[in-house]
A and B are shown apart, each in its own frame.
Chain A
Amino acid sequence: MLPRVLLCGEIKYVQDESKEMFHGIAELVHLVSESRSHFLSSFGPGGPYEGTVALYRLNKSSELIGKFDGPLIHALADKSMVRWIAQNSSGYDEIDVQACKERGKFLSQNQLFLTCMFVPGILVSNTPGANDDATASAALYLMLSCLRHFSMAERSLRSGTWKTPYNAAQTHDATGRTLGILGLGCIGLRFAHFAHAFPMRIIYFSRTKAESVPDWCEYVSSIEELCKQADILSLHVPLNQSTAGMVGEKEIRTLRRGSVLLNTSRGRIVDQEAMIRALEDGHLSSVGLDVYPDEPRVDPRLLTFPRCTLLPHIGGESAESYRRRELQALGNVKAFVLGGVGEDIVPELRTEIGKSTTL
């Protein structure tokens, strides 16, 4: 019997390719659970997911079985043979990777005399890169819309008031303005590249000064300095314990009055209350958002600020990026099934692989 791969989320664009990819290698099974308890109890003998060694996961599956938090990860490790989760997206904040790490240590303690069988818990891969272009384009779109109040103007047209609420005096071109990028990873750098075409002045802050970065990307040494100098602040850090709420009251008030805030990363990086206060008193002239703390819920107060541009977390979505992500995630699963390890292991778990190979 072939090992099984469970699809927690449907494959939409590469169905034919996926059949070809796994032919003779693994059997693809579909998520039939509508609750977490059903999910966790289905990996045993006779269950629909018996023999599953890896999961392909979309965030949408949390609507049925919940997020992959600590309890789910522990249960999965106990009750199944699943040792690889291939997340389809670059963000993997819905998976408790610390819990995945812990499982490895726990098992290794039990396997003291079988060190050659060190099992590094459950490994998690994501799909970095696949969305970079699409997400960076979304950031560009949000920036132009906020600077020029395009979104507001469209809504005015569609409601029959042509451009009446629009005041050109309060809008600006991008050229010559300063774009501050928080986190100069692949997406931040790609967005910087688009902005440089105008040109805009590009400044950035990252945990570490990025190595191979064009000389027109100016490093600043703190988030405060970034906020002091930026006309537009764009967020490109992943969501984790150290970045949650990273942009709060202090950072927002350090931005100059009339600044624009863009977020295409994760809603919880920003303190939403602080952001809304700043919109209410005009300190922020507008925000351009593709992400929210509690999707798909959008705080209704955001809808009351006419100059904001609000997208429903689709920035990274195009037919092409969808295909790329599906193929990339499935490729990671396939490599694991064939060889015990796949690509794109998330940074937090990469050291675990290091440990296993030294034994």
Chain B
Amino acid sequence: MSSRQPRILICGNLVWAHEDARQLFDGLADIVVMDSPNRPDFLAGLKTGGRYHGIVGIYRHNTSADHIGVFDEEIIDALAETGTVQWIAHNGAGYDQIDVLRCAKKGISVSNTPGAVDDATATTALYLVISCLRNYAWAEQSLRQGTFKSVLNPGRAHDVTGRTLGILGLGGIGLRLAHLVHAFPMRVVYYSRNKSANAPEWCEYIDSLEGLCRESDVLSVHVPLRNETVHLVGEKEIRTMKKGSIIVNTARGKVIDEEAMIRALADGHLSSVGLDVYPNEPFINPRLLEFPQNVLLPHMGTENQDSQRHMEVRALTNLRDFLRDGQGNDLIPELRSRL
């Protein structure tokens, strides 16, 4: 095959942005779709003579892991070995499915799509906050089972207004949630590795995770999953929260010690939890289902027609900018210092 244009690989679902992709790469690159049913086939395709040979950049979506697995050391090394792959444009805010340290070592840049998910994810978190405080999931279950509201205790439901929301990690999503709850208002407190320069004055900084737990009626998790954030919210942190508190997690399941969380639900220390993520999706710990007051969503945080399209376009744009200008906008933090 001979083509003067470089080739880019679409590795995972592209649902909305086909036309955008055509326009973005028109005259810039040929688009190749990854259609390998398994990893060996994919790896073979990367080699000389294989159908993915010569690709310089990849648009990646987590759904590709269903066929070829996550972008671990083996895949990163194989990509590096092509000698041509230089950019992975990931579609998603969380990129824990990519071994980014290995990418750094091998000279492959990685971008994600921060911001594009903020509104959708923050909206999911808002839904979980309201539903947990007001026991709405329980109420709907009761209605659908034919008991209307007779099994409910209104004393367990609380106003949103005036309660304290503790945000763990005031990045784009945390800040957007803060903005939405400020409309009630909830009191907003936060803890981040660094005090945020963008935070409005009504976002009160607390200088420790323990302090955040003490102050919060509802703790909402908004940190990415990294080695140092696994079980960041554990037994100690949960027990520091007030009795009757609520935890909401739209980040990653493994940030919370699930066993500690379940113990706290069982003895009533936590009145309920609102989760969109779990340590081992799509497996759900059946014990979570035993509490009718829990609000449990099947990892839908970012998914809706509007946000999906935004994210696809943003990832493709990062890839296009790399091709055209040598650099995409959303280079991930871990790789920025290396420039």
Chain A residues at the B interface, C-beta cutoff of 8 Å: 12-13, 133-134, 137-138, 140-141, 144-145, 147-148, 150-151, 153-158, 162-163, 166, 168-176, 193-194, 196-198, 295-296, 298, 303, 309-314, 317-322
A-B contact pairs, 29 of them (CB 8 A): A133-B159, A134-B134, A137-B161, A141-B127, A141-B136, A147-B304, A148-B127, A153-B300, A156-B298, A157-B297, A162-B298, A166-B298, A166-B300, A169-B15, A170-B305, A171-B304, A197-B180, A198-B180, A295-B148, A303-B144, A311-B136, A311-B139, A312-B139, A312-B143, A313-B149, A317-B157, A318-B157, A319-B154, A322-B154
Contact residues in A for B158 (Cβ distance below 8 Å): 318-320
Q: How far is the CA of A319 from the CA of B139 in the complex (A)?
A: 15
Q: Is the CB of B123 within 8 A of A173?
A: yes
Q: How far is the CA of A163 from the CA of B296 in the complex (A)?
A: 11
Q: Is the CB of B298 within 8 A of A312?
A: no
A153 with B297, Cβ < 8 A, contacts A174-B123, A295-B148, A296-B149 known: yes
Q: Is the CB of B136 within 8 A of A148?
A: no
Interface membership of B221, Cβ < 8 A: no
Contact residues in B for A313 (Cβ distance below 8 Å): 148-149
For residue A137, give the distance in angstroms from its CB to the closest CB of chain B: 5
Q: How far is the CA of A172 from the CA of B304 in the complex (A)?
A: 5
Interface membership of B330, Cβ < 8 A: no
Q: Is the CB of B300 within 8 A of A134?
A: no
Interface membership of B101, Cβ < 8 A: no
Interface membership of B17, Cβ < 8 A: no
Q: How far is the CA of A308 from the CA of B105 in the complex (A)?
A: 50
Q: How far is the CA of A319 from the CA of B162 in the complex (A)?
A: 13
For residue A152, give the distance in angstroms from its CB to the closest CB of chain B: 10
Contact residues in B for A158 (Cβ distance below 8 Å): 141, 289, 296
Q: Is the CB of A148 within 8 A of B149?
A: no
Chain B residues at the A interface, C-beta cutoff of 8 Å: 15, 119-120, 123-124, 126-127, 130-131, 133-137, 139-144, 148-150, 152, 154-162, 179-180, 182-184, 281-282, 284, 289, 295-300, 303-308
A312 with B123, Cβ < 8 A, contacts A157-B297, A298-B143 known: no
Identify which of A148, A155, A169, A322 contacts B124 (C-beta below 8 A). Answer: A148
Q: Is the CB of A148 within 8 A of B183?
A: no
For residue B24, give the distance in angstroms from its CB to the closest CB of chain A: 21
Q: Is the CB of B134 within 8 A of A175?
A: no
Q: Which 9 A-B pairs have the closest CB atoms?
A: A296-B148, A163-B298, A168-B303, A197-B183, A171-B304, A312-B149, A312-B143, A162-B282, A317-B154
Q: How far is the CA of A54 from the CA of B148 in the complex (A)?
A: 31
Q: How far is the CA of A156 from the CA of B300 in the complex (A)?
A: 12
Q: How far is the CA of A322 from the CA of B127 in the complex (A)?
A: 22
Q: What residue of chain A has the Cβ atom nearest to residue B143's Cβ? A: A312
Q: Is the CB of B297 within 8 A of A150?
A: yes
Q: How far is the CA of A150 from the CA of B139 in the complex (A)?
A: 14
Q: Is the CB of B307 within 8 A of A173?
A: yes
Q: What residue of chain A has the Cβ atom nearest to residue B137's Cβ? A: A154
Q: How far is the CA of A318 from the CA of B134 in the complex (A)?
A: 7
Contact residues in A for B126 (Cβ distance below 8 Å): 144
Contact residues in B for A169 (Cβ distance below 8 Å): 15, 305, 308
Identify which of A175, A196, A311, A322 contacts B140 (C-beta below 8 A). Answer: A311
Contact residues in A for B297 (Cβ distance below 8 Å): 150, 153-154, 157
Identify which of A157, A173, A193, A310 contacts B119 (C-beta below 8 A). Answer: A173
Identify which of B127, B157, B282, B304 contacts A314 (C-beta below 8 A). Answer: B157
For residue B217, give the distance in angstroms from its CB to the closest CB of chain A: 12
Identify which of A168, A170, A197, A295 contacts B300 (C-beta below 8 A). Answer: A168
Q: How far is the CA of A210 from the CA of B94 in the complex (A)?
A: 46
Q: How far is the CA of A171 from the CA of B123 in the complex (A)?
A: 13
For residue B4, give the distance in angstroms from its CB to the closest CB of chain A: 36
Contact residues in B for A171 (Cβ distance below 8 Å): 303-305
Contact residues in A for B308 (Cβ distance below 8 Å): 168-169
Contact residues in A for B134 (Cβ distance below 8 Å): 134, 137-138, 141, 314, 317-318
Q: How far is the CA of A169 from the CA of B161 in the complex (A)?
A: 33
Q: Is the CB of A193 within 8 A of B159?
A: no
Contact residues in A for B161 (Cβ distance below 8 Å): 133, 137
A321 with B300, Cβ < 8 A, contacts A144-B127, A197-B182, A310-B144 known: no
